[in-house]
Amino acid sequence: MVGVAGRDGTRDLREAWNRFRATRGRPLESVAVAEVMSMPVRTVHCTDTLWQALTVFVTEELRHLVVVDERDRYAGTVSDRGVALAWPADPVALRLRPVRDVVDACESVTPDCAVDRAAQVMWWRRLEALPVVDGDGTVHGIVTDTDLAGLVAARGTGGELHGL
């Protein structure tokens, strides 16, 4: 079953902007991923169908979902692109095929990881998103390329939010 992990609804752009702006004046190596990650993060279970994942991608306009196992522990990620590539000639098969068939067991970072380190991992591995997971596999959030772009923008514009 599709679920949400996280403590608050910081998907609002203004709230995210304020979190990013609060890091101004500090070097990126002292900014923790927990300060800039998107949360709550949408999760799907590895036994959910690709149809269920596709429904979340479309209705919530997301590009990445974190996949959890039967104990709600981190198991990997799935992207909208991965589901699209798995789309068979018969779309009905999407209702039968489990997410585990297309899960990417990508690297993750801990909430206290420095943002610059997370950005290095994303760049080196060519990732658009990096799950934020603690030592016991609990998912706390996800850092996306959009989060990092927002962080850079908020730190470099004098803190003014233009266009919203």
Residue with tokens 């095929």: 97
Whether 5 shows a pLDDT value over 60: the answer reads no
> With contact defined as beta carbons under 8 Å apart, do 64 and 79 qualify?
yes
Report the pLDDT value the prediction gives residue 44, as an integer from 0 to 100.
96
Report the pLDDT averaged over residues 138-162. 84
Structural domains present in the chain: 3-156 (3.10.580.10)
Secondary structure element (H or E) that encloses residue 20, with its range: helix 13-21
CA angle 103, 109, 113 (to 5 degrees): 165
**pLDDT tens, 51-110?**
999 999 999 999 999 999 999 999 999 999 988 888 776 677 888 889 999 999 889 999
Is 121 exposed, middle or buried, given 0-12, 13-18 or 19+ CB atoms closer than 10 A?
Answer: middle
SS (H, E, C) 114-143: EHHHHHHHHHHHCCCEEEEECCCCCEEEEE
pTM: 0.84
SS (H, E, C) 72-88: CCEEEEEEHHHHHHHCC
